[in-house]
Structure 1
Amino acid sequence: MGTWGTGNFDSDTAADHLSVLTARLVREVEDAVAGDPVELEPDEYWGVAVPCNLEILHLLASQRWAGVMLPDIAMVQAWKATYLAVWDANIEELEPTPEHKMHRRAALERTFDQLAEAIRTR
Structure 2
Amino acid sequence: MGRWGAGNFDEDTAADHLSLITGKLVDETAEAMAGDPVELEPDEYWGVAVPCNLELLHLIGTRGYVGVTLPSGDTVREWKKTYLAVWDEAIDGLAPTAEFRARRRESLVRTFDQLAALADSGG
- Shorter-chain TM-score bucket reads over 0.9
C-alpha distance in 2 between matches for 1:29 and 1:69? 13
Give the corresponding residue for 1:117.
Answer: 117
Any runs of at least 4 consecutive aligned residues in structure 1 with deviations exceeding 2 A, and if so which?
none
- 1:41 maps onto 2:34 in alignment: no
- 1:58 maps onto 2:51 in alignment: no
Give the corresponding residue for 1:92.
Answer: 92
- The C-alpha deviation readout for 1:50-108, integer Å capped at 9, x for no partner, is 00000000001100000000011110000000000000000000000001000000000
Q: Where in structure 2 are there 5+ consecutive unaligned residues?
A: none
C-alpha distance in 1 between matches for 2:117 and 2:7? 26
Q: Where in structure 1 are there 5+ consecutive unaligned residues?
A: none
Number of residue pairs matched? 122
C-alpha distance in 2 between matches for 1:120 and 1:72? 7
Give the corresponding residue for 1:18.
Answer: 18
TM normalised by structure 1 equals: 0.99
Aligned-pair distance for 1:117?
Answer: 1.1
Q: Quick one: which amino acid aligns to residue 48 of structure 1?
A: V
Aligned-pair distance for 1:119?
Answer: 1.2
C-alpha distance in 2 between matches for 1:121 and 1:72? 10
C-alpha distance in 2 between matches for 1:66 and 1:106? 31
Aligned-pair distance for 1:121?
Answer: 2.0
CA-atom RMSD in angstroms: 0.5
Q: Quick one: which amino acid aligns to residue 106 of structure 1?
A: E
Aligned-pair distance for 1:9?
Answer: 0.2
C-alpha distance in 2 between matches for 1:117 and 1:78? 13
